[in-house]
Structure 1
Amino acid sequence: MLKRVWIFALVGSIMMACGEGNNNTDKTMTEAEETDAIVDSLLYYKNNQIKTDFLSRKFPDLGREKAIELQMACLKKELAGGGELAGWKMGGTVGDSASFDPLMGYMLKANQHFPGDKISIKVFPENETMIEGEVGFVFKQDFPNGVGSIQELKDGIDYAVGGVEFAQSNAIGIDNNAETVKTNHVLAFGTGQAGFMLGDKKINFADFDVENEAVECFVDGESAASGVSSRIYGGHLTALNALVNMLPKYGHMIRKGDVVITGSMYTNPTVKGNAKVNLEFSSLGSIQMEITD
């Protein structure tokens, strides 16, 4: 497995003649430069589909806020480079989690696939991906300050659509030891967001049975997984509410037209090569694709 170690040197010593204010400025610049170098490394690994223990080694006890800071810095650089934000994913939302731990990840339009596509396995980290059956929610208004109630949230959703997330994190443990990779390492890398697909069938949110949607995933004609909305910890709306109220803290917000996928409704199958995949939703239609070598 390919691993790369990046070494970051801090800028030289501060001259004694400088005042305290200048010392603080120099320190801030140094921290900013180091963060920028780390972000460049994270984006390098992501863009080259490399799994790495870089974060596990550099930040063995990476905190939640630092992880989000790194992810948001990656997003900022991607947008500055011409990337377009399509929406967001929510992780930490499945019912077998120890507790509801909402984790966000951004989704770029460049990583969107479409029903019927043939998708090379090589676009995913080290040639493998989980196929997650999800529901996508598309918003019809901006929420710059979050929401004050679930009803306010519901009033802002335009429609529901079947969704697939291709999930595979670039973060691994030191020397591939799973005990040394933490949730926050995965969060910093975008919470495993490796691509997504939305179905063609849309249901007005007011008409969508948000609590009872079900999905079954078939791989090469065989049932690989199935599940229901009740597997989402606290329900899809709990995940959406957490995200809408979380984003403003980090300088972002849900905007009109954004799509949010809220977590897989089943235990995910992993694909590592040629496969024909079909997801059948109870009310949101079907989504087919082919994974190729």
Structure 2
Amino acid sequence: VAAYMPAIEIVDDRYADWRTTDTPTLIADDFFAAGCVLGDPVRAVGAPGETVGVTTINGAEAGRGLGSDVMGDPLNALAWLANSLAARGQGLRKGEIVLTGSLVETKWLDRGDRVTVSISGLGTVELSVT
């Protein structure tokens, strides 16, 4: 891992009813992923599983979570991905960015909303919906 970054995943619900869509389709489509906003890179984080993430929308706290909520530690998610790729003769490449999982549940935004994600030890990233 060269660096860590706070991130906001931009989601898009492309399904009539995602709850009735089969799991392989959701995985193949990368579920709701439509893009991301990345904060400044940080070289070291201490223990990623001990980080605390807070999401605010329009200045009000909308969610809070721990790094340990992501498979016990976000690095476990990264290791799972690397091992899954290696089992198929593939691998992660230098410079690739991996979003390891969200510390809070998905929040749907509206035009005019401003969201901030702050993660202890990593910093803050912001997004305005226009």
Please give the TM-score of this superposition, normalised by the length of structure 1.
0.41
Q: Aligned-pair distance for 1:241?
A: 1.1
Q: Give the secondary-structure state (helix, strand or coil) at the position aligned to 1:260.
A: coil
Between the aligned partners of 1:180 and 1:269, the Cα distance in structure 2 is 20
1:264-279 map, 5 Å: 264-279=102-117
Q: Partner residue of 2:31?
A: 191
What residue is the counterpart of 1:158 in the other structure?
2
Q: Is the 8 A contact 1:212 1:230 kept in 2?
A: yes
Q: In the alignment, what sits opposite 1:180? A: 20
1:285 paired residue number? 123
Shift in Å at residue 249 of structure 1?
4.4
> For 1:221 and 1:179, how far apart are their aligned partners in 2?
30
Q: Give the number of aligned pairs.
A: 130
Superposed structure 1 runs of 4+ greater than 4 Å apart: none
Q: Which structure is higher in helix share?
A: 1
Task: Find out whether 1:243 has 2:81 as its counterpart.
Answer: yes
Mapping of residues 1-293 of structure 1, within 5 Å: 157-172=1-16, 176=17, 180-204=20-44, 207-250=45-88, 252-292=90-130
- Cα shift at 1:168: 2.9
C-alpha contact 2:63 2:105 (8 A) present in aligned 1 = yes
Q: Does structure 2 conserve the Cα–Cα contact (< 8 Å) formed by 1:247 and 1:254? A: yes
1:57-96 deviation digits (Å, cap 9, x = unpaired): xxxxxxxxxxxxxxxxxxxxxxxxxxxxxxxxxxxxxxxx
CA contact (8 A) 2:57 2:116 kept: yes
Which amino acid is 2:121 matched to? S
Task: Provide Cα deviations, 1:94-137, integer angstroms capped at 9, x if missing partner.
Answer: xxxxxxxxxxxxxxxxxxxxxxxxxxxxxxxxxxxxxxxxxxxx
- SS of the aligned residue for 2:94 comes to coil
Q: Secondary structure at the match of 2:76?
A: helix
Distance 1:251 1:291, change over 3 A: farther
The CA deviation at 1:250 is 4.6
Alignment partners' CA distance in 2, 1:165 and 1:189:
15
In the alignment, the residues of structure 2 paired with residue 196 and residue 179 of structure 1 have an alpha-carbon distance, to the nearest angstrom, of 23
CA offsets, 1:202-225, max 9 Å, x none? Answer: 133xx5321211111111111111
Q: 1:62 maps to what in 2?
A: none
Q: What is the RMSD computed on CA atoms of the aligned residues?
A: 2.0
Greater Rg over alpha carbons, structure: 1
The residue identity in structure 2 corresponding to 1:265 is L
CA distance in structure 1 between the partners assigned to 2:41 and 2:123 by the alignment: 6
Q: CA deviation at 1:251?
A: 5.5
Which amino acid in 1 is paired with 2:119? F
The DSSP-based 3-state class of the residue aligned with 1:273 is coil
> How far has the Cα of 1:256 moved from its partner?
0.9
In 2, the alpha carbon distance for the partners of 1:250 and 1:171 equals 29
Query: What secondary structure, in the 3-state scheme, does the structure 2 residue paired with 1:279 have?
Result: strand
CA distance in 2, matches of 1:290, 1:179: 28
Higher relative contact order (CA 8 A, sep 6+): 2
Q: Conserved in 1, the CA contact under 8 Å of 2:85 and 2:92?
A: yes
CA distance in 2, matches of 1:284, 1:273: 27
Identity of aligned residues (%): 25
